[in-house]
A and B are shown apart, each in its own frame.
Chain A
Amino acid sequence: MTSLLYTEVEEELRSAVRDLLADTCAPASVLAGLGSPPDPGVWKALAGDIGVAGLLIPDEYGGAGASAREAAVVCEEIGRSASPVPFLTSAVLATRALLAAGTPAAGALLTRLASGETTAALAVSFAASPYSAVGGDVRRDEDGTLSGEVKAVAGADAASVLLVPSGSTLYAVRAADATTRPVPSLDQTRPLSTVTLASAPAQAVGEGIGDALLYGAGLLASEQLGVAEWCLSTTLAYVKERHQFARPVGSFQSIKHRLADLWLDVVRARAAARNAADALASAEDPGLAVAVAQSWCADVAVHAAEEALQLHGGIGMTWEHPLHLFLKRAKSTQIALGTPGDHRTRTAQLADIPAPA
C-alpha cells in the first residue's frame, strides 16, 4: 500500500539534512553569500557525509539506491532554506539522465557522482518543459566535437561534467572544455549560465535524456512545498509578534482568514508532492501525479511567498530580510521544468478532459 506520510527513515534523513543546512545555509548566510560563488564545503558535506549525491544511484554504482520518496524529503529541506546546492541539478536531473542512458560510460560517471567527487549538470534550459523535445541547440560535427550554445542552464556553475543532448544522443563534456558564463538570474541562489561549446570534445553516453525532466519536475514540487512551508511558518511567527493598534496583527480576522486559506493550500501541496514522489518511486506511470503536483505546488509556492511579503509590510520589501530569496526561488521554479500551464495541459490529456475542437 502506498503512503502519503513520511516513513521513519525519511524523517531521519530529513533531520540530518535540516541540521546540516541550519548550520551552513541559514537564511542570513545565504543572503550574505549572494553574488559570490557558493561555499563548496556545504555541498561536499551534504553530498559526501550525508550521502545525498548518490541517493538516487543504485548500489552497483556506489549509491544509496534510495527512491524519489527520500530525494523529495531532501528537496523539501533545500526549499525550506533556499540553499544554493546543486542537488536538483546534479543528483536528480543529471543522475536520471545517466540512469536512462544505461551504458558503461554512463555507469562510470554515475560512480563518480555517487561519491560526490564529481558534480554534473544537464545542459538543457531550466525552463525546458518535460513535454517538449530537447537537444536542438547543439550540433555534432564530422570530427565528433560539439558546437552550440545552451541558455539558462541551472547548476552548470557548480559542475565539472556537462551532459549535453544533441539530436537524439546524450554526450558528456568536461566543463573545462566548454565555456560556462553565469548570467544575472532572478534566483541568485540557483544562478543560471550560458553554456557555449566550440568544437568541444565529447563522449557519447547514451540515447536521449530519458525521464530526467519529468522526474525533476516531480521532485521540484517538493522543493516548492519546502519554500511554501518556510513562507507560511515565518509569516505566522511574524504576525503573532508584530503589534499594531495595540494587538498582534495576527489577531485581525482578515489576516487570519488569509493564512487559513494559505495553510489549506499548503496542506494540499504536501499531499500532492508526496503523491508525486510516491508515484515516481513506484512502478506505475507517474505522469498524472507529476503534472498535478507541479501545477499545484508551483502556484502555491508563489502565492505563499507573495502573501508572506504582503503580511510582513515594509520589512518584507527589504534586501536585508531573507524573504526575497524565497519569492525569487518560488517564481523561478514556477517557470522551471514546465510552467503550471504546461502541466495543466498535460493533466487535461491524461485525465481525458479534451480541449474544444
Chain B
Amino acid sequence: MNEEDIKERVREFLAANDPAADRLGFLRARFDAGLAWVHFPPGLGGLGAPRELQQVVERELESTPQLRPGVQAIGLGMAAPTILAFGTEEQQRRFLRPLWTGEEIWCQLFSEPGAGSDLATLATRAVRDGEEWVVDGQKVWTSGAHHARWAILVARTDPDQPKHRGMTYFVCDMQAPGVDVRPLRQITGEAEFNEVFLTGVRLGDDLRLGGVGDGWRVAQTTLMNERVAIGGAPARRGGGMIGLVTRTWRDRPELRDHDLHQRLVRLWIEAEVTRLAGARLREQLAAGQPGPEGSGMKLSFATLNQALTGLDLEMHREEGLGYDDWSFRRSESVDFAGRDIGYRYLRAKGNSIEGGTSEILRNIIAERVLGLPSEPRVDKDVPWKDLPR
C-alpha cells in the first residue's frame, strides 16, 4: 500500500460520504473505510498500511469533520494501542470504533495517593468472584474522568507477589455502581482532573485486558504510548506553542526588547530541532512500536513548553499581571494552547509531571536507552504486602 493507493481510497470514500452531512455518521463511515488509523488492521479502523501514510489521510481529509483531541487524547493515545496489543478480538470490536469516533470517552485510572512515580506499588485491589472481579480503592489525578464512559485501570490482584508481578489490567466501566468521581481543583482554578473512589465495583472478566498478573507489562505499552502521545504530536515548522508566541511577537512590536528577542530565537531553534527529532523518530517508528526513545520527546516537550509559556507571560508585562478567570468549574477539554497567557503558563507546569515526571523520564532514558546501571533497589523481590509504606 503506497501513497497513491491511500489517496485513491480517500477519493472513493469522499465520493460515497458527504463530509457536510452528519458529523458522527461521517466519522463512523471513515472508521469503517479503514481511514481512521491506517496502521491498524482491516476491520478495526485501519488498512494494515505503514504508519506514516496516516499523514496522507490527515492531509486529504483536513477540511472534513475532525476528532476532539482534547477529550479523546487518552482514548486515542493510550487506550487504543493497548487494546490493539492486548485485547481479544471481541474487545477490539467492542471498544475501538466508539473510542475513535469519540462517542465514548476514556480516562486513565493509574495514579493513586500512595503510588505516583512508583506506579507499581499501587494498592487498589481487584478480587475475583466467579466470572467477575470486585474492585476497591482510590485513584487520583484522573484527567477527564467526568467525561469518561470507560477507563483503563491497573489493580492489584496478588499482594503476595513482588510489586511488579501481582497486578492485572482492566477496562473499567465508569457507569458501574460504586464508581464515584469527584473534581479536584487545579492551580489554574478549574478541575481538569479528579479523584475517583472505587467501592465494590463489579467488572466482568471479559473486561480484563491481558493475563491475570500481567498488568505491569500491559501498562508499559500504555505508558510508552502516552509519552509519544504527549510529546510526539506532528507539528508544522513554527507551529504549536512557539507559533503562538512568535505570532504575538510579530503582531505587537511594543512588547519587544533585546533580551526577550535573544531568548525567543533560542527557543524557536530549540522548538525546531525538537520538531525535527520528532519527525525523525516517527520515521523510525513507521513500522514498529514506540520504544523508550519516545520518552525523550515528552521530556523535551515539557521543558520547551514551560520555557515558552513563561516567556510569553513575561513578555506581556502589565497584561501578564492579570488572569482570565479563576472560577472553579470542570474543564470542557484539555488544551495546552488554549485560553489566556496566565492559564497556559500554569497549565504547562503539569507537563513535567503528567505521563511520568521529567525525573522519571531521565531515569528511563539513562537506564533503558543508555544502559546505565540502575540505582540500588530495596523493593524488587519483596512481596508487595511487606513493603514499607
Query: Which residues of A approach B to under 8 Å, CB–CB?
Result: 3-5, 236, 239-240, 247-248, 250-253, 255-257, 259-261, 263-264, 267-272, 274-275, 292-293, 295-296, 344-345, 347-348, 351-357
Contact of B253 among A251, A261, A357 (CB under 8 A): A357
Question: Are B246 and A271 touching (Cβ within 8 A)?
Answer: no
Contact of B246 among A257, A292, A344, A351 (CB under 8 A): A351
Contact of B371 among A240, A272, A293, A344 (CB under 8 A): A240
- Known contacts A264-B300, A268-B277: A257-B264 contact under CB 8 Å: no
- Known contacts A4-B276, A260-B370, A354-B256: A296-B362 contact under CB 8 Å: no
Closest Cβ–Cβ distance, residue B370 to chain A (whole Å): 6
List, sorted by A's number, 15 A–B pairs whose CB atoms are closer than 8 Å: A4-B280, A240-B372, A251-B372, A251-B375, A259-B366, A259-B370, A260-B363, A260-B370, A271-B279, A271-B280, A272-B276, A353-B265, A353-B268, A354-B256, A356-B256
Contact of A268 among B258, B300, B374 (CB under 8 A): B300
Question: Are A5 and B280 touching (Cβ within 8 A)?
Answer: yes
Residue of A nearest to B293 (CB): A267
Closest Cβ–Cβ distance, residue A109 to chain B (whole Å): 36
Closest Cβ–Cβ distance, residue B86 to chain A (whole Å): 29
Question: Are B273 and A240 touching (Cβ within 8 A)?
Answer: no
Q: Is B359 an interface residue (CB 8 A)?
A: yes
Question: Are B257 and A275 touching (Cβ within 8 A)?
Answer: no
Question: Are A355 and B362 touching (Cβ within 8 A)?
Answer: no
- Complex CA gap A87/B256 in Å reads 43
Within 252-277 of B, Cβ neighbours of A (below 8 Å) are at 253, 256-258, 261-262, 264-266, 268-270, 272-274, 276-277
Closest Cβ–Cβ distance, residue B284 to chain A (whole Å): 7
Residue among A3, A255, A270, A356 with most chain B CB within 10 A: A356
- Complex CA gap A299/B186 in Å reads 38
- Complex CA gap A256/B262 in Å reads 30
Within 359-389 of B, Cβ neighbours of A (below 8 Å) are at 359, 361-363, 365-367, 369-376
Residues of A within 8 A of B270 (CB): 268, 296
Question: Are A260 and B366 touching (Cβ within 8 A)?
Answer: yes
Contact of A353 among B264, B279, B300 (CB under 8 A): B264
Closest Cβ–Cβ distance, residue B257 to chain A (whole Å): 5
- Known contacts A264-B365, A355-B256: A253-B375 contact under CB 8 Å: yes
Question: Are B365 and A260 touching (Cβ within 8 A)?
Answer: yes
Residue of B nearest to A348 (CB): B265
Contact of B280 among A264, A270, A295, A351 (CB under 8 A): A270
Q: Is B340 an interface residue (CB 8 A)?
A: no
Residue of A nearest to B277 (CB): A271
Residues of A within 8 A of B355 (CB): none
Within 289-328 of B, Cβ neighbours of A (below 8 Å) are at 293, 296, 299-300
Q: Is B336 an interface residue (CB 8 A)?
A: no
Closest Cβ–Cβ distance, residue A278 to chain B (whole Å): 10
- Complex CA gap A275/B277 in Å reads 10
Closest Cβ–Cβ distance, residue A338 to chain B (whole Å): 14
- Known contacts A272-B273, A354-B256: A240-B283 contact under CB 8 Å: no
Residues of A within 8 A of B284 (CB): 5
- Complex CA gap A5/B287 in Å reads 14
- Known contacts A344-B265, A355-B258: A271-B367 contact under CB 8 Å: no
- Known contacts A5-B284, A344-B269, A356-B256: A264-B296 contact under CB 8 Å: yes
Residues of B within 8 A of A355 (CB): 256, 258, 261
Residue of A nearest to B264 (CB): A353
